[in-house]
Amino acid sequence: MNHDDAAARALLLRFDRGLADQRIEMELCVVGGAVITLNFARAPRTRRPRALFASSGAALAARRHAAERAGVALDRLEEAARTVVTGQAAAFEGERLRVFSPPPDYVLAMKCAALRFVPEGGVEDDIRYLLRFLGVRDPAAAVDVVSGYLTPRQRPEDLESRLASLIS
């Protein structure tokens, strides 16, 4: 482990500890050099899918709070994520923060699932990036990719039309 990697892991550990009093768990997914965040509600007490995803606003507030508690600039989190990811399954795994390089189609599926529950926006930009990264230009093909991870009940009913608007 080189010095940069050790420093990045120490920073991620501080950030993970900074999330201790938050109700959010985060996955930082490094895809083609971009860091895409998946935000999950921590230990939901319900089986409703809505409880799985944290809103973008709540997640950003949690990230800012954790960064402040850790004494870390918010943009350093993404730099640290890129540093530790080397293609291995789990580059960093804390109690509340996971950093890894998943298959891009997994991240696309999770972002599409979040479309149902995260109305503030922001998810769409990540979906556009992932569609370009995967070279998917057809909405039906995009739904096929997502279907490898999500059942029809887990996807938004209007997923194909929403993807069509993001592709064009």
Give tens-digit pLDDT for 121-161: 668 889 999 999 999 999 999 999 999 999 998 888 999 99
pTM (global) more than 0.95: no
CA distance 83 to 78: 9
Number of domains in the chain: 2
> How many residues are recorded in the chain?
168
| 97 lies in the same domain as 22 | yes
Range of the domain at 61: 1-102
| 87 lies in the same domain as 46 | yes
| 60 lies in the same domain as 109 | no
Give tens-digit pLDDT for 7-20: 888 889 888 888 87
- For the chain, give the mean pLDDT: 82
| 87 lies in the same domain as 117 | no
Does 82 have pLDDT greater than 70? yes
CA distance 148 to 163: 16
**Mean pLDDT, residues 69-97:** 80
